[in-house]
Amino acid sequence: MRRLTTLAALPALLALPALAQPVTPDPVVAAERAFAVDGSAMGVKASFLKHSSPDAIVIQPEPVNAHDSLAAAPDGKPDDPKLEWWPVWAGVAKSGDLGFTTGPYAVGGNRRGHYFTVWKKQLNGEWKWLFDGGTPSDPSGAPGPGGPVGFLKVADVPPMDSGEALAQVLAVEDALATVALTDLKAGFLTVYACDGRMQGSALPPAETCEAAEAEMATRPATARLKTLGGEASAAGDLVWTYGVMSWSGIGGETKGHYVRVWQRRADGWRIVFDELLVPPPPRPN
């Protein structure tokens, strides 16, 4: 009788929806690696056009549309030094539609720094990047190509409307901008997550709060911040932003651009990735 009862219940059990698979950054990492493979085979221009969203941006030194910039760029030559890169750390939204990767990049076999790419899943299921840029952060101690990739833990928070999530982050950035006028480091570290990453200087990317304090020490004591754009995930748990940062120093006025990823946690919005892009000074005549 027990066996018959179990068999009778089988159709109902089969009709239940499959258990949801845990969300991981694996698809984002796969997209980055496919991008890197094409970069080696197709060259920079063709591969960057292929894997970027039509509204993707690059900073050169101002934010510009990546496709417009690439279309105007010369085609590569077979003997150009090869650009290579590989992910070592990645994250993804709870909704599985927005993510990022970062890791070392090399030119002609020589490591030069760390790249950062923001990815978005398109309506057809393909992943395209929304932002790509790198810093001279020391890559010497980073793992090599093909190694394991560390993951940012996926947010464990209830869903939120993406528009409301972006509005909340922009409000936090406005508050941070106000504090930065008198104490950039204190304001930034108040909202920075110690399990995040920060890069921009010649130091290795910061992976701890102590390293983040060292990275912040390379930045000005005060600065003017202005957010220029960004986007939130469908679940409202992950938001990327970019903006301009300017400050006065001994050499006069300096301007750079920041790119950040914010993650919503139980204690509020926290920066889980930040990079500062500062153009090199002009060469003397």
Residue 133 has pLDDT above 90, yes or no: yes
Nearest to 257 by CA among 210, 223, 213, 218: 223
Q: 105 and 188 share a domain?
A: no
pLDDT given for residue 281 in this prediction? 61
Residue 4 has pLDDT above 80, yes or no: no
pLDDT tens figures, 80-106: 889 999 999 999 999 999 999 999 999
Q: Give 206's DSSP letter.
A: B
pLDDT given for residue 74 in this prediction? 85
- Say if residues 229 and 155 touch (Cβ distance below 8 Å): no
Q: Which amino acid is at 3?
A: R
pLDDT given for residue 63 in this prediction? 96
Q: Which tokens sit at 145? A: 């190509």
Q: Give 201's DSSP letter.
A: S
Q: 198 and 237 share a domain?
A: yes
- The domain that holds 221 is classified in CATH as 3.10.450.50
| Mean pLDDT score, 54-81 | 90
pLDDT tens figures, 193-251: 999 999 999 999 999 999 999 999 999 999 999 999 999 999 999 999 999 999 997 77
Sequence-distant (6+) residues with CB within 8 A of 162 are 232, 233, 234, 235, 236
- Say if residues 163 and 232 touch (Cβ distance below 8 Å): yes
Angle between helices 209-216 and 162-191 (to 10 degrees): 80
pLDDT given for residue 73 in this prediction? 86
- φ/ψ of residue 81, rounded to 5: -55, 135
Task: Look at residue 59 and tell me if it is in a domain.
Answer: yes
Indicate the average pLDDT of the chain.
91
- 272 vs 15, higher pLDDT: 272
Residue 19 has pLDDT above 60, yes or no: no
Q: Where are the beta strands (DSSP E) in the chain?
A: 52-59, 63-65, 83-85, 89-92, 98-107, 110-121, 127-135, 150-151, 192-199, 224-232, 238-249, 252-265, 268-277
Task: Look at residue 3 and tell me if it is in a domain.
Answer: no
Q: 270 and 229 share a domain?
A: yes
- φ/ψ of residue 242, rounded to 5: -145, 155
- φ/ψ of residue 6, rounded to 5: -65, -45
Nearest to 195 by CA among 71, 37, 89, 64: 89
- φ/ψ of residue 98, rounded to 5: -140, 135
Task: Look at residue 17 and tell me if it is in a domain.
Answer: no
Q: Which amino acid is at 216?
A: M
- 129 vs 75, higher pLDDT: 129
Q: 181 and 94 share a domain?
A: no
Q: Which tokens sit at 158? A: 């209830």
Lowest mean pLDDT among 74-78, 85-89, 105-109, 114-118: 74-78
Task: Look at residue 21 and tell me if it is in a domain.
Answer: no
Residue 267 has pLDDT above 90, yes or no: yes
In whole angstroms, give the CA distance from residue 93 to residue 218: 30
Q: 176 and 273 share a domain?
A: yes
In whole angstroms, give the CA distance from residue 226 to residue 35: 31
What domain count does the chain have?
2
In whole angstroms, give the CA distance from residue 249 to residue 259: 22
Among 98, 130, 151, the domain-final residue is 151
Q: 85 and 197 share a domain?
A: no
Q: 142 and 41 share a domain?
A: yes
Residue 264, SS3? strand
Q: 32 and 146 share a domain?
A: yes
Q: 170 and 137 share a domain?
A: no
Q: Which amino acid is at 159?
A: P
Portion of the chain with pLDDT greater than 70, in percent: 91
Task: Look at residue 2 and tell me if it is in a domain.
Answer: no
Among 151, 179, 202, the domain-final residue is 151
Q: 166 and 91 share a domain?
A: no
Q: 146: left (phi > 0), else alpha (psi -120 to 50), else beta? A: left
Residue 151 has pLDDT above 90, yes or no: yes
Q: How many residues does the chain have?
A: 285
pLDDT tens figures, 29-54: 999 999 999 999 999 999 999 999 99
Residue 57 has pLDDT above 60, yes or no: yes
Domain of 194, in residue numbers: 162-277
pLDDT given for residue 72 in this prediction? 87
Among 123, 151, 179, the domain-final residue is 151
Task: Look at residue 19 and tell me if it is in a domain.
Answer: no
Portion of the chain with pLDDT greater than 90, in percent: 82
Task: Look at residue 38 and tell me if it is in a domain.
Answer: yes
Q: 138 and 168 share a domain?
A: no
